[in-house]
Amino acid sequence: MNFVVISQSVRVCEERRSRVDLVDQRLTNFIQFCGYLPVPAPNNLCSQIDDPNLRQIRLEAWLEKISPLGIILSGGANIGCYPDRDLTENMLLDYAERKKMPVLGICRGMQVMASRANGRLHEISGHVKSRHSLKGKITREVNSFHNFSVKALPQNFEVLARSMDGEIEAIKHQDLPMEGWMWHPEREERYVLQDVKRLKKIFSTDKKTFHK
């Protein structure tokens, strides 16, 4: 069984003076359904280390101990709400790019992926708690829970799908096994076979399979 590292959201409870990392069980269920074992990435693994080199050493030591097949950047709060999460996810992407490791960015995760590659985001309306159809290389109806979208395509990526109002809904790196989806595959009442197949294609160890 292959491990998949998942980034986590953050929840702050002032009454209990607690700061909690969390991941939706629907996402870990989806990952297991696809045949992988999820491993949540702690957001405080590197955030309290000032030296960037030491942060990198700490994260790489943790990842190499786990030896994951790939990484999933989960959805959740907007970029900038929790700097420790932003740092963790960007460092995970740095590592994945160096190792040519598969990555799927879900909703916010796709936004992080795009922002890191110099793509621009903009605020939109009509995409929160709604469903809409896709056009492009991916054509189907999807759920939608985001109020920001990728306005300018990031470097070295191509568009896989747009919503009918023209917003970018899915992207793929031109050279690396990395994709971003603005919908949440884990939030469907029944998992969509197309999502399962695409995830397995991204995480395939056969590089020829990814680029078909």
186: annotated active-site residue: yes
Torsion sign, CA atoms 139, 79, 92, 176: positive
Per-residue pLDDT averaged across 197-203, rounded?
96
What percentage of the chain has pLDDT greater than the value 70?
96
Reported as a single tens digit per residue, the pLDDT across 41-100 is: 999 998 888 899 999 999 999 999 999 999 999 998 899 999 999 999 999 999 999 999
Q: Look at residues 110, 149, 160 and name the one whose alpha carbon lies nearest to residue 126.
A: 149
Reported as a single tens digit per residue, the pLDDT across 148-176 is: 999 989 989 999 999 999 999 999 999 99
Distance from C-alpha of 152 to C-alpha of 97, rounded to nearest angstrom:
21
Structural domains present in the chain: 2-210 (3.40.50.880)
Q: What is the pLDDT of residue 46?
A: 87
Which of the residues 46, 107, 167, 179 is marked catalytic?
Answer: 107
Per-residue pLDDT averaged across 114-126, rounded?
91
Q: Look at residues 119, 133, 141 and name the one whose alpha carbon lies nearest to residue 163.
A: 133
Q: Is the pLDDT of residue 1 over 90?
A: no
